[in-house]
Amino acid sequence: MPASFLHQSVARATLGPSPAGLAGAEGPDPLFFCLHRQRGVCSPFALGSRMHKERTGAFLLALLRGARTSVQRDYALGFLTHYATDTTFHPFVYARTRTPQGRPSGTLHCAYEHALDQWLYLEQGHRAGTPRHMAGIAALTRPQRAQVAQLLCQAVRETYPDQKSASERLFEHALDDSVRLARILYSPTGIKYALLGALAWPLGLQRALHAHMVPLRLPKGDLTNETHAPWESPFAPGERHESVPDLLQAARARALTFVDAARAFYAGSLDEAALAQTLGSMSYDSGLPCAQDGLSRRS
């Protein structure tokens, strides 16, 4: 998953500053922050992973069909921008964050994405600090979060039959926990980054912790592939040369295509079959149709 600020940036370029749209731009990721469990339902982390890889098109259609209020519709449109961004960026991120043995690394993956957030923040003209994560969710009122949780719960139950006992409260917890943890990990001066890192170091958790915090200083080297050096997706053969700015432009274009199709669906000028054809059913990891995705996420 590109980290929160990059997702917010694509959503803002596509939808404007709607808090619900920015909340939707987080996609399934708040489940990765959820500290609560529900009996009879897979862990929030496992559910979030499934939503990235299994029946993704069916879930998006369920989300769009189920959205009734303006908050829910904005949220669903924001979710489409998350799907567009992940499916565009992830092959590059996986290519850039393999271990020396050529294996995917969750720690390297998250650290790189958080560094990209700081790069984009500086590119947008900010001279100090670091971007706030989960800002769209944080801006929602309690009733608005309840509307989002109801929509997510309904779409999950419809898409994943073995999760029919999932409750709206689980998704409210996911939204709330993601905001709380983002607030804890927010370090605009770098002091908390250093302090929490020092506390985590004796436990061997410094790298894992810092992978989930935005660094004040960017790592050295060609972070964004401005030189257009060759790279290859681990999911599909073929040399590629895109830079991060190239991929960001492509993500915005894909997001606009998806959002325009959804708006046409809401307006009654596009039927569900045509909408489904436009959205596809891609793995958020590979950008390929779900059945073709052979590499699972590892830590």
pLDDT score for 292:
56
In this model, does residue 72 exceed pLDDT 50? yes
Residue 282 is classified by DSSP as B
pLDDT score for 295:
44
Cα separation, 177 vs 97, in Å, equals: 27
pLDDT score for 102:
87
Which one-letter amino acid corresponds to residue 116? Answer: L
> What global pTM score does this model have?
0.95
How far apart, in Å, are the Cα atoms of 273 and each of 100, 164, 190?
44, 25, 49
- What digits encode the pLDDT tens for the residues 206-215? 999 999 999 9
pLDDT score for 64:
99
- What digits encode the pLDDT tens for the residues 254-290? 999 999 999 999 999 999 999 999 999 999 999 999 9
Cα separation, 31 vs 48, in Å, equals: 5
* Across 204-227, average pLDDT: 97
Banded pLDDT at 291 (limits 50, 70, 90)? confident
Cα separation, 207 vs 268, in Å, equals: 50
pLDDT score for 297:
38
Report the first-to-last Cα separation within the chain, whole angstroms: 14
Least confident of 29-38, 99-108, 121-130: 99-108
Average model confidence (pLDDT) for the chain?
96
